[in-house]
Amino acid sequence: MRSPRHVVALAVLLGAVVLYIAAAERIGFLPLAILILAALFFVLKVPPGRAVLIAVIAALVIHFAFYKLLRVPLPRACSRTTRGDLMSAAILRAFAMVFEPMTLTAIVLAAFFGLFVGAVPGLTATMATALLVPVTFFMPPIPAIATMVTATAMAIFSGDVPGCLLRIPGTPASAAYTDEAYAMTRKGQAEMALGAGLVFSAVGGLFGTLVLILAAPALAEVALNFSSFEYFWLVLLGLTCAVFITSDRPLKGIVTLLLGLLVACVGLGNPAGFPRFTFGNAEMTGGIGMIPMMIGMFAISEVIRFVVDTSPPAEMVVEKVGNVLAGQWKLAKKYPKQILRGSVLGTAVGALPGAGADIAAWMSYAMSKKFSKEPEKFGTGHVEGIVESGSANNSALAGAWIPALVFGIPGDSITAIVIGVLYMKNMNPGPTLFTTNPQNIYAVFLLFIPPT
């Protein structure tokens, strides 16, 4: 078991890597290396004076070894008059573009639209984004992107509402912890479940946005290097999460996993394009969609449950929902590692093309149960899984924009639609987007903050 000090040191080290990627070319190697090493030694309980001294010596030794002996070029600080002034001007223009009345109006209207779509079971955040595409034809670029970002973020959160109150997830990203939230509602803790989904989704969204702003090009380059081998192991990791979630009954988890793989085999989705398990029905060639399958698993099962057992009367699970923000600060102090872990995992999974928030939520919930001190409470109405999964699904939204903006490769189905809107608005995704019109890309970054 790692001590809290080592956990904090590991978190500082990961943050230092992100900081180095983002700021090495602006600050230079030596000042940044001294700052990072001093912070790391300080976390490891080295006295401040000694920590600074060791950091300076270590940075000089590293600089001498790499730059003088091995002839490895190290980053140098850029001129303030060239990069700093241009960046400041671009950021100021981006702020002006985001806080225009038309952009703010678009954010408010898209927020209500996203809340409605996400709260209706069967309507997904992807559908909300697709329905807004015709509206963006008549809007300038920044308000058009604002409607997409806002509707997506609000739909992902509002998908928790029917899952918590009705045990029917509003979006696939909410399905990972629907049973947990509904169990809390049955125990009279609907406010805590909804509040955890709201607050920690916002925390995860802000974390993902921060990573998107600081390290988008570097993370996109890592994600682009994923080959078929890495994707195979990633998919295998996601599939094993089913066994982690049902660790008390692994046979049930394996059988359910195999049934899901059998359902996924239906259609033409194979290299040979040969129809599998279609039974001669042309409508089955497209496979079984995620939304019909999810509605069948959650909604129809509830109907069948009452048809089979009519003796217990239908109960009103919750009559009135109180203040959903009550007690959330205590949860934040109790589960800081879970919040950080879910946010980091969600951002990393979101940055992988084709992954998305639903995979991030399932993986995060499985990881939360695996490393929890109270795994036996999962499935009985334990808020820990909601805290971590809620942080993951919203941080994955911002992470999915990393490959979309830098390389034009969609991170999920939502960004696949957004890429079309970007091309339509002459904001062609790619490295040139960061250089030709930097105010546009900074405005896109800032658009993630108001809806979150």
Place of tokens 């380059």: 221
d(CA 184, CA 193): 7
User: Mutual orientation of helices 178-186 and 383-407 as an angle, nearest 10°?
Assistant: 150
Residue 415 is predicted with a pLDDT of 82
Check residue 167 and give its pLDDT. Answer: 79
Residue type present at position 80: R
Tell me whether residue 126 is exposed, middle or buried, using C-beta atoms within 10 angstroms of its C-beta: 0 to 12, 13 to 18, 19 or more.
buried
- CA dist 103 and 281 (Å) reads 47
287-333: per-residue pLDDT in tens? 777 657 766 665 666 567 667 665 555 455 555 667 777 777 888 88
Instruction: Determine the pLDDT at residue 7.
Output: 52
Dist CA 147 CA 106 (whole Å) = 6
In whole angstroms, give the CA distance from residue 48 to residue 42: 6
Burial of 224 (0-12, 13-18, 19+ CB in 10 A): middle
Measured from the Cβ of residue 156, the count of other Cβ atoms closer than 10 Å reads 31
pLDDT of residue 233: 74
- What's the confidence (pLDDT) of residue 81? 45
How many angstroms separate the CA atoms of 70 and 61, rounded? 12
Distance CA 213, CA 446 (A): 9
Q: Please report where in the chains the tokens 């094993």 appear, as a residue.
A: 240
Residue 144 identity? A
3-state secondary structure 97-147: HHCCHHHHHHHHHHHHHHHHHHHCCCCCHHHHHHHHHHHHCCCCHHHHHHH
Residue 306 to residues 186, 299, 311, 411, Cα–Cα distance (Å): 17, 11, 9, 40
Q: Are 350 and 396 in contact (CB under 8 A)?
A: yes
State residue 120's pLDDT score.
Answer: 81
Give whole-number Cα distances, 15 to 345, 349, 398, in Å: 14, 17, 17
Q: What is the pLDDT of residue 1?
A: 44
Stated as kind and residue range, the H or E segment containing 355 is none
| CB 140 within 8 Å of CB 428 | no
CA distance 97 to 440: 9
Q: Is residue 105 a contact partner of residue 146, using CB atoms and an 8 Å limit?
A: no
Bridge partners, residue 267, by sequence: 276
Tokens 């034809």, residue located = 137
What local confidence, expressed as pLDDT, does residue 359 receive? 79
The predicted pLDDT at position 261 comes to 82
Give pLDDT < 50 ranges for the chain: 1-2, 77-82, 314
